[in-house]
Amino acid sequence: MTVKIVKAKKYDVKSLENLIRDAIKDVGSDLKNKKTALLKPNIVIAAKPGSAIITHPAVVEALINVLEENGFEDIIIGEGPGVGADEARAFELSGYNKLAAKKNVKLINLNKAERTEIKWKYGTIKLPKIVLEADLYINLPKMKTHGQTAVTLAMKNQKGLLSRADKQKFHKLGLQEPLVELAKVVKPHLIIVDAIEGMEGEGPLNGKKKKACVLVIGTNQVETDMVCCDIMGIDHKKVEHIIEGIKQNIGPEVPDLTGDDIKEVRTKFKQANEKYGRFLNVYSWRNPYACSMCIDSFSLAVKSSIWSPKHWITFLPKFTYYAVLKHLYIIQGKHAEVPDVKGRVVCLGDCTKEIAEKNNLTHIEGCPPDSKNILEAL
Ligand code: SF4
């Protein structure tokens, strides 16, 4: 197992193609006698290529060109956007519809893919048949920080392979441990981490763009994620799913590195606040059992209200009042707790119905709640 670090300043398909071609050889990934490839980028929500939220399509295009040179006949891009995301819009806005049409490759919504049931630690899990059967499964994460798992890299990107029910089950199980178990049952043949532009702070959706100007290419998820943490200035020993992966022998304790010197590409990524995400006086309380789409539903609702004139005189003044003059605390997910704070607490999503009733708090239903429900409830 080897991980290659490759400096890459911009999303230029031609130069990325050359870097990826060499890196595939250097990490010992074998493309010979293979015909089908499943490429799994991160397209968690509808976001533009330059948003730093999704894997940039230029990286995927460069990889497709390399696979075509090597005689691949069936190249498929597959992703299952997050629970509650507008899937059609996610593929359109991200540029992946355009890329699939340009390269004449299939783009598949894994949330609707045919699934095979396999056994794992928690009983059975349904994984996309197309991923399990491809000659080559390539995991293409974006380098980002994450409010619940510290980082989202190769291991976390695999969550997009799951059915909606399994995605929610993951959160109910506490996220980090099931990520390790998932890494045992589905193993990519190749990993290419898009870290030309990553995200720091309140990732995976609300952080700031952070240029790392690098691609990280490997074949082992734990090892590749460990190297990415080092580049991000984050101690991998403090990232639960990575350290657990090492303990359970899914990856080596010390990575085998090649390519550019890691010292030259290290760039400190600011981490997400461990207790809460915050915008002015609006706090979204962290809970490992809450799904990302529930966590981000409130900020998505605020963003959507900006484009809706009706809400300029209803929701936005009220939101501004709380955000500037008062305090608003949002809780979500199973096992949510009411924070010991002064101010209004709002319970988001079906998982918090009981706690809202028990404590006489505002409850917004939905799994996850949609923007309309949130705006109306407030
Ligand atoms: S209510 Fe929210 S946290 Fe609970 S299962 Fe649904 S999306 Fe996940």
Task: Summarize pLDDT for 177-217 with one digit per residue, the tens.
Answer: 999 999 999 999 999 999 999 999 989 988 999 999 999 99
Q: For ligand 1, say whether the CB of 367 is within 6 Å of any of its atoms.
A: yes
pLDDT at 190: 98
Instruction: Give dist(CA 83, CA 164) in Å, integer.
Output: 6
Q: Tens digit of pLDDT for each residue in 313-328?
A: 888 888 888 889 999 9
Q: For ligand 1, say whether the CB of 90 is within 6 Å of any of its atoms.
A: no
Q: Is the dihedral of CA 128, 130, 132, 138 positive or negative?
A: negative
Q: For ligand 1, say whether the CB of 173 is within 6 Å of any of its atoms.
A: no
pLDDT at 294: 86
Q: For ligand 1, say whether the CB of 57 is within 6 Å of any of its atoms.
A: no
| Dihedral of the alpha carbons of 199, 204, 206, 209, in degrees to the nearest 10 | 10
Q: Which atom of ligand 1 is nearest to the CA of 171?
A: 8
| Nearest CA owner, ligand 1 atom 8 | 291
| Nearest CA owner, ligand 1 atom 6 | 367
* Helical (H) or strand (E) element with 283: strand 282-285
**Distance in Å, CA 294 to ligand 1 centroid:** 6
pLDDT at 314: 84
Q: Which atom of ligand 1 is nearest to the CA of 172?
A: 5
Q: ∠346-144-61 over CA atoms, to 5°? A: 125
pLDDT at 53: 97
Can the peptide bond before residue 368 be classed as cis, meaning omega within 30 degrees of 0? yes
Q: Tens digit of pLDDT for each residue in 347-378?
A: 999 999 999 999 999 999 998 898 888 888 87
How is domain 3-265 classified at the CATH fold level? Answer: Rossmann fold (3.40.50)
Task: Report CA 277 to chain centroid distance, whole Å.
Answer: 17
**Distance in Å, CA 8 to ligand 1 centroid:** 38
* CB 182, CB 192: distance < 8 Å: no
**Distance in Å, CA 352 to ligand 1 centroid:** 9
Mutate which of 166, 172, 351, 354 for ligand 1 pocket (most atoms within 8 A of beta carbon): 351
Instruction: Give dist(CA 144, CA 373) in Å, integer.
Output: 29
pLDDT surpassing 90 at residue 289 = no
Give the residue from 271, 275, 280 showing the smallest Cα distance to 298.
280
| Nearest CA owner, ligand 1 atom 7 | 368
**Domain edges within the chain:** 3-265, 276-377
pLDDT band at 111 (very low <50, low <70, confident <90, very high): very high
pLDDT band at 293 (very low <50, low <70, confident <90, very high): confident
Task: Report CA 65 to chain centroid distance, whole Å.
Answer: 25
**Distance in Å, CA 171 to ligand 1 centroid:** 8
**Distance in Å, CA 173 to ligand 1 centroid:** 12
* Helical (H) or strand (E) element with 345: strand 344-348
Give the residue from 278, 277, 281 showing the smallest Cα distance to 323.
281
Q: Is 135 helix (H, G, I), strand (E, B) or coil?
A: coil
User: pLDDT > 70: what percent of the chain?
Assistant: 100
Single pTM value for the model? 0.91
